[in-house]
Chain A
Amino acid sequence: MTLRDLVLVRLGVAVNLVIGQIVAALLLPIYLDSVGTILVASLVGPRAAIAAGLVSQILSAVISGNFSWLPFAIVQVVIALYAWGAARLGLFRRLATAVPAGLGLGLVAASCSAPISYFVFGGVTAGGVTMVTTVLRALGAPLGVAVASASYATDLLDKAIACALVSAVLRSLPRTLAARFPALAR
């Protein structure tokens, strides 16, 4: 990785970790903890995006003190690869294609996170998702169905908004700045 890629990966990690502060201020029921990973995948490529995702997961654990969510690092790898593919197909150039790409990413991410959540943690993970799981369970849904439904519902919304946001960033880049990222022109 070049020095420039390293700096961009650091930026991606910082965005992943700080954007949550804005989301919390807006009291939105989402996380947006992969915006930086998707952005780095679009601007640099899959290797840098995977690095951004993995470092985000580790530093998030260091900052919060909760290291038990480290197995979810694999989800960040999947997000990085999907986002790179979507960027190569030019899906982030318009909002009309970015949102469906985000919904697809939500499906893929939930398909990875739901089994980890169910088999490793018994469905008890982050507060918001587990609350949805608990409500569905109380309504009579089997635990597996409740965990999967909660994961899909939150990930679809979260990743669609994350991709829309990345698309907005890429479209707002001034020409002089955009020209510095050759991956954008491909």
Chain B
Amino acid sequence: MIGYLAGRSPLHRAHPYTTLALAGAVLLLAFALTQPLEIWLLVAAGAALAMAGGREVLRSSVRAALLLSLPIWALLFVLYGLLGAEPRLALGFVSLSVPGVARALVLGGRITAIVLGFLTALGTTSPHRLVEAMTASGVPFGRTFLLASTLTVLPRMRDRARQILEAQQCRGLRIGGSPLARLRALGPLALPLILGALAEVDEQVLALDARGAGGGARRTALDAPPDSTPQRLLRWTLLVAMIAAYAWKFWRMRG
């Protein structure tokens, strides 16, 4: 949907943990807030975050967020606006549920804010800098490997899935027809993909072992992104703010 967009904005220059902490704070706050006004202030904060990433990030994030959110908004409109509870408000030829619309504004705004926050983080966090930051902070190799390496394997697996599909179609496999016929085609497509990948496991283990990935020694980051006291302070402040937000939410629920 959106990948890293090179730039020189404050978010691009920030330590990757700071950008991810900001996006994480939007996610946690979105679930802590329950009033339409609060949620839409959070959406505005998400948009401000995207703006801090520069014009290109703002444009891409807002566009992708709209594309992802619009189908959800449409479903919310039907499920809550049209099929919601009384009292109702007549708007031309449609009658909308007042509490339903308020609930839809919260639910839709929540998803929009989260998507906007994380798309901004994706657009401004270089995967290379993130891996270097994780290595520098002593994150075990396994975790870094799983997050970074799987993304590089996916295009290869996708290509192989496409090749298997084309090869099986050449051999006469029909992928249309009734749902049962289509379900029967699943085996000839999925089995070769999974079995082929399993057969390569040992080869990949050997390749990684030969590169010293099996050693338990702490790895050295060659190009660790600089961190600073204000950024560390900001991350701790966000953590405290999240705890306070949830404490406030539960206190309000009790009341």
Q: Which A residues are within 8 Å of any B CB, using their own CB?
A: 1-4, 6-11, 13-15, 17-19, 21-23, 25-29, 35, 39, 51, 55, 58-59, 61-68, 70-71, 120-124, 127, 130-131, 133-134, 137-138, 143, 161, 165, 168-169, 172-173, 177, 180
Q: Which residues of A contact B2 (CB under 8 A)?
A: 65
Contact A122 B161 (CB under 8 A): no
How long is the Cα–Cα vector from A7 to B197 in the complex, in angstroms?
10
The listed residue (B122, B183, B198) touching A161 by CB distance below 8 A is B183
**B153 within 8 Å of A by Cβ?**
yes
Q: Which residues of A contact B153 (CB under 8 A)?
A: 10, 14
The listed residue (B119, B197, B204) touching A15 by CB distance below 8 A is B197
The 4 nearest A-B residue pairs measured at CB: A65-B1, A67-B118, A68-B114, A18-B157
The listed residue (B145, B201, B214) touching A11 by CB distance below 8 A is B201
Contact A62 B78 (CB under 8 A): no
Contact A124 B118 (CB under 8 A): no
| B150 nearest CB across to chain A (Å) | 5
Known: A10-B149, A122-B76, A161-B183. A3 touches B213 (CB 8 A): yes
24 contacting pairs across A/B (C-beta < 8 A): A3-B214, A10-B145, A10-B146, A10-B150, A13-B150, A15-B194, A25-B189, A27-B182, A55-B146, A63-B154, A66-B1, A66-B115, A67-B115, A67-B118, A68-B27, A121-B111, A122-B103, A124-B72, A124-B79, A130-B79, A134-B79, A143-B79, A161-B183, A168-B191
Interface size on B, residues (CB 8 A): 66
The listed residue (B75, B80, B115, B189) touching A22 by CB distance below 8 A is B189
Which residue of A is nearest B182, CB measured? A26
Contact A6 B179 (CB under 8 A): no
Known: A3-B205, A68-B111, A137-B79. A165 touches B147 (CB 8 A): no
How long is the Cα–Cα vector from A10 to B150 in the complex, in angstroms?
6
Contact B194 A63 (CB under 8 A): no
Q: Which residues of A contact B213 (CB under 8 A)?
A: 3
Contact B187 A165 (CB under 8 A): yes
Contact B122 A65 (CB under 8 A): yes
Within 8 A of A (CB), among B91-139: 103-104, 107, 110-111, 114-115, 117-119, 122
**B90 within 8 Å of A by Cβ?**
no
How long is the Cα–Cα vector from A143 to B103 in the complex, in angstroms?
13
Contact A172 B165 (CB under 8 A): no
How long is the Cα–Cα vector from A71 to B197 in the complex, in angstroms?
29
Contact B64 A22 (CB under 8 A): no
Contact A28 B83 (CB under 8 A): no
Known: A122-B76, A124-B75, A172-B195. A19 touches B190 (CB 8 A): yes
Q: Which residues of B contact A134 (CB under 8 A)?
A: 75, 78-79, 83
| B53 nearest CB across to chain A (Å) | 15
| 19 additional A-B residue pairs with CB within 8 Å, beyond A26-B186, A68-B114 | A3-B213, A7-B208, A15-B193, A15-B194, A15-B197, A18-B154, A18-B161, A19-B190, A22-B190, A39-B194, A55-B147, A62-B151, A130-B79, A134-B75, A137-B79, A165-B187, A168-B187, A169-B194, A173-B195
